[in-house]
């Protein structure tokens, strides 16, 4: 009998991994069902686990599990989530293991009542805070940085949950877009630099409100876009209406620029910029920066499609789907022991020889991280008969890891941090290799005045990092009350 090995295509994927997605619903009789729909629309932001917490009659009800939204929730699970308000979360772990105890939303009962929280982002000083809290007797049930916020919240004075949450967040540093639920209130918060997106919507039929990581969730939920939650804003939604608070010192906005390259769904609008249109403009810029004598433009699906369309439009070359993606690859795939045929890529992508044979191909992808998958894709296209393969990339060379909510390899594993562009070209086997420039990327997403974090490309970290990057700042641990 042939030996078999268990292969996880998600872990083998040579891309930055999505962070998390959050959703909140207030003022609808089927709040949990709407939260489910919202999470379905945000599934691209996390596939490891999903959870929903609802509130009714002074109690919180929770259903959480490992896997994708449709695997965790059915009619039976939704029926156990009563109430007119709910929050939800889909997770890809950036801090903490991928296990059931680390699923979100996190929910507690403490001296002020019930409280649940869903977090998109990463706290750079979580380990320091956790160590101090443990010294003072705190007992942690997970290894997520989100639980640090919960412990801080429980120790804070204040007349209401919003005030206590703001006081707790004064202690932390890092990226966070939060949705929180009490017995009577839905709370949303975006960190002072606005690393991660968060939007407010209004439910068209009920008049209730929605908080979501992206506008694409509003469309499925039957909600209209109201506005983006501003960096440093805390919003409290209650039966009395909406209250906006500004509890943090204003700072220059630094939203993650990679949202526009890869993370966000192309039909979303983030801080006023349509993601699909931005990706097409990136493709236009790539065609101007890296014109090639070629026959066809082919995207690496799905994240390279819009940029490839832009490249084709600008260059006048035909666009073809020379690579077809299998969208139904599960979390595991049983792979033959013989690994010489790149099963890890072929299970997800299939090349079309009748399109590629004899052609000079412009291959468009969103990024090159380790370079291992890029090399396999180039090999796949060549094996299908391509005469030349010219690789162009929607992101600048990735030279630094992210500490603000994206799961990235160590700097030593980032191919562009260790090798020149020409060396990378040889390693992936392309005839030519071209990256977008940082200036051209900024032009495609509205200009530098918009305010972005580009640390993974520039090494300019807006907050201190564990490897000593970023502003010179000593974390002065405030007393945890």
**Known catalytic residue at 180:** no
Catalytic-role residue among 20, 180, 216, 256 = 20
- 377, 361 Cβ separation under 8 angstroms: no
Q: What phi and psi values does residue 284 have, to the nearest 5 degrees? A: -55, -45
* Assigned token pair, 23: 């959703």
DSSP state of 136: T
- Residue 209 has phi, psi (to 5 degrees) of -125, 155
Residues linked to residue 106 through DSSP beta bridges, in sequence order: 117
CB 317 within 8 A of CB 283: no
CA-derived radius of gyration, the chain: 23
Q: Give SS3 for 342.
A: coil
Q: Which residues of 385-403 are buried (b: 16+ CB within 10 A; e: fewer)?
A: bbebbbbbbbbbbbbbbbb
* Beta bridge partner(s), residue 364: 299, 392
Question: CA–CA separation, 428 vs 391, rounded Å?
Answer: 9
3-state secondary structure of 290: coil
What dihedral angle (degrees, nearest 10) is formed by the CA atoms of 139, 140, 146, 149? Answer: 0
How many other CB atoms sit within 10 Å of the CB of residue 56?
A: 16
> 136: number of CA atoms within 13 Å, CB side?
12
Other C-beta atoms closer than 10 Å to the C-beta of 224 total 12
Buried b (16+ CB within 10 A) or exposed e, 350-377: ebbeebbeebbbbbbbbbbbebbbbbbb
Beta-sheet strands, E only, within 57-125: 59-66, 85-91, 106-110, 113-123
Of the candidates 60, 200, 164, 184, the residue with the CA atom closest to the CA atom of residue 116: 60
Beta pairing, strands 234-238 & 241-245: antiparallel
- Say what the alpha-carbon torsion angle 273, 279, 281, 283 is, to the nearest 10 degrees: 170
Q: How far apart are CA 409 and CA 420, in angstroms?
A: 18
Q: Are 418 and 427 in contact (CB under 8 A)?
A: no
Identify which of 397, 422, 425, 433 has the alpha carbon closest to the alpha carbon of residue 292.
433
User: Which residues are the active-site residues?
Assistant: 20
């Amino acid at each position: 009998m042939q030996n078999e090995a268990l292969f996880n295509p998600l872990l083998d994927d040579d891309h930055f991994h999505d962070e998390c997605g959050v959703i909140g619903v207030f003022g609808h009789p089927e709040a949990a069902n709407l939260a489910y729909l919202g999470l379905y629309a945000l599934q691209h932001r996390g596939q490891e686990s999903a959870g929903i917490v609802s509130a009714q009659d002074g109690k919180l009800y929770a259903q959480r599990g490992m896997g994708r939204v449709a695997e965790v929730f059915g009619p039976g699970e939704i029926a156990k989530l009563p109430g007119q308000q709910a929050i939800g979360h889909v997770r890809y772990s950036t801090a903490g293991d991928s296990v059931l105890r680390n699923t979100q939303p996190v929910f507690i009962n403490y001296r002020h009542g019930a409280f649940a929280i869903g977090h998109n982002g990463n706290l750079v000083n979580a380990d320091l805070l956790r160590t101090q809290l443990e010294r003072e007797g705190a007992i942690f049930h997970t290894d997520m940085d989100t639980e640090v916020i919960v412990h801080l919240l429980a120790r804070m004075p204040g007349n209401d949950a919003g005030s206590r949450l703001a006081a707790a967040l004064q202690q932390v540093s890092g990226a966070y877009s939060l949705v929180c639920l009490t017995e009577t209130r839905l709370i949303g918060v975006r960190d002072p630099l606005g690393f991660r997106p968060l939007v407010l919507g209004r439910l068209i039929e009920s008049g209730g409100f929605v908080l979501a990581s992206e506008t694409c969730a509003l469309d499925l939920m039957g909600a209209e876009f109201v506005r983006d939650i501003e960096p440093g804003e805390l919003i409290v939604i209650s039966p009395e209406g909406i209250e906006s608070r500004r509890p943090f010192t204003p700072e220059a906005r630094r939203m993650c620029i990679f949202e526009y390259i890869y993370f966000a769904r192309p039909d979303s609008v983030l801080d006023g910029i349509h993601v699909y249109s931005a990706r097409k403009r990136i493709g236009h810029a790539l065609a101007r920066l890296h014109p090639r004598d070629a026959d066809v433009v082919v995207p690496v699906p799905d994240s390279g499609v819009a940029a490839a369309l832009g490249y084709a439009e600008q260059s006048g070359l035909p666009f073809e789907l020379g690579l077809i993606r299998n969208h139904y690859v599960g979390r595991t795939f049983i792979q033959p022991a013989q690994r010489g045929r790149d099963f890890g890529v072929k299970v997800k992508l299939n090349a079309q020889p009748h399109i590629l044979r004899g052609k000079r191909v412009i291959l468009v992808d969103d990024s090159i991280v380790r370079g291992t998958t890029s090399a396999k894709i180039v090999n796949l296209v060549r094996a299908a008969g391509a005469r030349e393969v010219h690789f162009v990339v929607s992101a600048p060379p990735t030279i630094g890891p992210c500490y603000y909510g994206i799961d990235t390899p160590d700097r030593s594993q980032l191919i562009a941090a260790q090798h020149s562009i020409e060396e990378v070209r040889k390693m992936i086997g392309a005839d030519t290799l071209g990256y977008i420039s940082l200036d051209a990327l900024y032009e495609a997403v509205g200009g530098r005045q918009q305010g972005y974090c580009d640390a993974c490309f520039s090494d300019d970290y807006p907050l201190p990092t564990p490897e000593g990057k970023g502003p010179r700042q000593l974390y002065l641990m405030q007393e945890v009350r």
